Structures are given as structure tokens and as C-alpha cells.
Chains A and B, each alone.
Chain A
Amino acid sequence: DAMVIQNPRYQVTQFGKPVTLSCSQTLNHNVMYWYQQKSSQAPKLLFHYYDKDFNNEADTPDNFQSRRPNTSFCFLDIRSPGLGDAAMYLCATSRTRDSSQETQYFGPGTRLLVL
């Protein structure tokens, strides 16, 4: 059974047209993360929510925003996608951030193409 679900799996948008990617989880985990992964590179953390607390990485562009309306759902909004934003976007969850050896569980990712 899928535990971290991402929709859509593939998203095509136009340059400058806002796009929203969604993530849901059935694990009831407190923490949800968004990563950007470009071809042949490591996943790069954009931001995460610990419950309702939003934590933005210092180098995440303002163009990227996130919303977490409840425990199960988290959204990634790209306000004005550029060609350089084409990538795989991975959602992940973890039970907490407080204990060691706390693993993250990843969704299948949404591959974004910007035309």
C-alpha cells in the first residue's frame, strides 16, 4: 500500500505559469519534506514542515512556496516556473525530527517539465 503519494507523476507547465504539486501520506508522520532532484544530482532539500511549523532552506528561491493544510497533505507551489526548475520533485516524510536514526520515506516523485 502506498504510504507517500504524489500527484501527478508527470506535470508539464509553461514558462511562468504557476503550478502546484501535491503530496499526501498515510503514515501520520509529523514531518513532511520537499526535495528537488535534477538529473544525475543528489536530492536537494527545499523546505520542510514540522507539524505546522514551516522551515525554509536558506538557498531555496522565493519562487517556491509550500502549504500544509493538515497532517496528511502538503503542497509545493511554484509561482513562476523557469526552465531551470524542470526536475523531479520528491516528497518525503518522517515521524519526527527529534530522535536519531529517524529515516525518511519518499514518495514516487513528480517529474516537472517546463516548456
Chain B
Amino acid sequence: RKEVEQDPGPFNVPEGATVAFNCTYSNSASQSFFWYRQDCRKEPKLLMSVYSSGNEDGRFTAQLNRASQYISLLIRDSKLSDSATYLCVVDGQNFVFGPGTRLSVLP
């Protein structure tokens, strides 16, 4: 089993749609969790950290379920500029990236 797994994607959604990404991790000792976004041929950029109580940043909501070892990212009111690959990152001994889920928001 891979350390970090994500929805395989790609997700093609219309503008304004709500889309949710799921991520599971295998290392129960993991302490920190993040969502990064990566545009084509660019570096990953931090989208948001994921806190135990869940957190929201504008249109983005992240949830963590430690018991199920599951992280989610919800994007509301999708914009064209949200098109990117979303990487789930789990920090145990090292940063471990999930394979990413590609999102295309269509006009």
C-alpha cells in the first residue's frame, strides 16, 4: 500500500461547481498534513495546512480524520484559475506527497 493515496482524477467540472478531493495515508504516526497545488510545469505551492479541527480559507475547506487516516479538500464555487493538480502531503518522518489529483474547471 502506498503511503499517501489520492483520488485518481482527472476531475473536469464546470465553473461554479463544488468539488471534493480525498486523500488517505498509511502512517498513523503522521503529525502534519497539507494541501499543495501545482500548476503545469511549475513548483508546488502551499494551498493550506490541515488542522485537526478542520479549517477553511475562503472557498477552500480542509478536513482531517485521524481515526480513518483521511484528509479531504473541498472547493466551492470553482474558478477557471483553480485548474491545477492538487497534492496531498503528509509529514511523518519526511514530507510524503500523494500522486496528485488533476482538476480542470471548464467555462
Contact = CB atoms under 8 A, between A and B. Distances in A.
B98 A104 contact: no
A108 B87 contact: no
Nearest to A6: B43
Interface string B72-107: 000000000000000100010011111110000000
Interface residues of A, number: 21
B34 interface: yes
Given A41-B99, A42-B100, A107 B43 contact: yes
B31 A90 contact: no
Nearest to B33: A101
Given A90-B43, A90-B44, A103 B49 contact: yes
B45 A104 contact: no
Interface in A57-105: 57, 88, 90, 100-105
A32 to B, nearest CB: 13
B1 interface: no
Nearest to A109: B43
Identify which of A33, A41, A101, A111 gathers the most chain B CB atoms within 10 Å of its CB: A101
A43 B32 contact: no
B38 to A, nearest CB: 9
Contact of B45 (A33, A101, A102, A106): A106
Interface in A28-46: 33, 41-45
7 contacts: A42-B87, A42-B100, A45-B95, A57-B94, A90-B44, A100-B32, A106-B43
Given A45-B94, A101-B32, 10 more contacts: A42-B87, A45-B95, A100-B31, A100-B32, A101-B51, A103-B46, A107-B43, A108-B43, A109-B42, A109-B43
